[in-house]
Structure 1
Amino acid sequence: MLHRQSLAATAAGILLAAGIGATIPAGAGAAPSHPTTPPATAQVVNVRWGGHPTFDRLVIDVRGTLPPVSVRQVKELRADGSGDKVPLAGKYFLEIRLSPAAAHDESGQSVYKGPRLLKIHLPTLKGVALTGDFEGVVTIGAALDTKPVHKSFVLHSPERFVLDIAHPPVGCRR
């Protein structure tokens, strides 16, 4: 009898070590990391960037349906709500506005995982900041060293807004 119990215990140990046997699905009993249904208001969750041979790219990741987005050149970046100047160095600035959108969930917890204020060292893009999450409007600021020539488009699955900012011609670079 003792031999049979020893064999059963050894077999159970081998099965557990191999990950075989009664398994519980990952995340069972835990809150899901992503909502199963899209949020009622689009949620801005991240901002990413990258350098390419002829342009710098800024990507805004959104959970839910991408809202209308506007991009405009401004003289300086200001924080929504307070109006305080955003301390990003640059000669030119773009304000990217998503509305209706939020960078927080219904309980007021931030869902935004990107940079709040960051200096970037790319040929054209020099900085990015989350400048606002206020009254259904999310704004992101981009700092540039050269006058911006840009194009934008939307990609799906997952939802994201893409802004490509052209590098200046080789003879015009600082």
Structure 2
Amino acid sequence: MFHHRQTLAATAAGILLAAGTGATVPADAGAAPAPSTRPPATARVVDVRWGGHPTFDRLVVDVRGSLPPVSVRPVKVLRYDGSGHRVPLPGRFFLEIALSPATAHDQSGRSVYKGPRLTTIRLPALKGVALTGDFEGVVTIGAAFDTKPAYTSFTLHSPERFVLDVAHPPAHCPR
């Protein structure tokens, strides 16, 4: 009986020793890697372009990645984000288009934006466009008009785009 207890004790010690040794192995050893905890990639604004149509002018913002929420609001004056300096675009009416979260640069700080920084346009409604900001996760674009803009906006996909259509002013409105 004594021999049986020694064998039982030796077996139990062996099991405990093996269990203790196993506990020193990292829990994730041999397991699949943990999912990345990086935040999802931020949308990148890469271009702004425009075109004239028979009854409206179209402004298109091209985005790489998922299209973020976009806001369009009338402003009295366009200002550069960060500095607050006035944007020198012609016009009496302005729209500020903001995409957030978004950037117009890569992780190294290099610009990925290939569109105009500031340009005058001579379409019936649209008179100018400027990249007014790429600051703290918000990209802003300003658009200038001689008359109060009547506009609609929508998104298109594959590739991702934000579209702003601005109706031409009535023929009797002063330009």
1:78-157 correspondence runs (5 A): 78-157=79-158
The amino acid of 2:167's aligned partner reads: A
Structure 1 consecutive aligned stretches of length 4 or more whose deviation exceeds 4 Å? none
Shift of 1:171: 2.1
Measure, in 1, the Cα distance between the counterparts of 2:138 and 2:72.
Answer: 13
SS of the equivalent of 1:141 reads strand
Q: CA RMSD in A?
A: 0.9
Shift of 1:173: 4.6
Match for residue 75 of structure 1? Answer: 76
The amino acid of 1:79's aligned partner reads: Y
Structure 1 unaligned segments of length 5 or more: list them.
1-38
Structure 2 unaligned segments of length 5 or more: list them.
1-39
> Rg larger in 1 or in 2?
2
Measure, in 2, the Cα distance between the counterparts of 1:173 and 1:163.
Answer: 22
Which digits, 9 at most, give the CA deviation of each residue in 1:32-82, with x for residues without a partner?
xxxxxxx70000000000000100000000000000000000001000011
Which digits, 9 at most, give the CA deviation of each residue in 1:81-105, with x for residues without a partner?
1101010010100000000000000
Measure, in 2, the Cα distance between the counterparts of 1:153 and 1:173.
Answer: 28
SS of the equivalent of 2:172 reads helix
Measure, in 2, the Cα distance between the counterparts of 1:135 and 1:168.
Answer: 35
Shift of 1:169: 1.6
**Residues 97-106 or 162-171, more deviating:** 162-171
Which digits, 9 at most, give the CA deviation of each residue in 1:4-23, with x for residues without a partner?
xxxxxxxxxxxxxxxxxxxx
Q: Size of the alignment, in residue pairs? A: 136
TM-score normalized with structure 1 length: 0.77
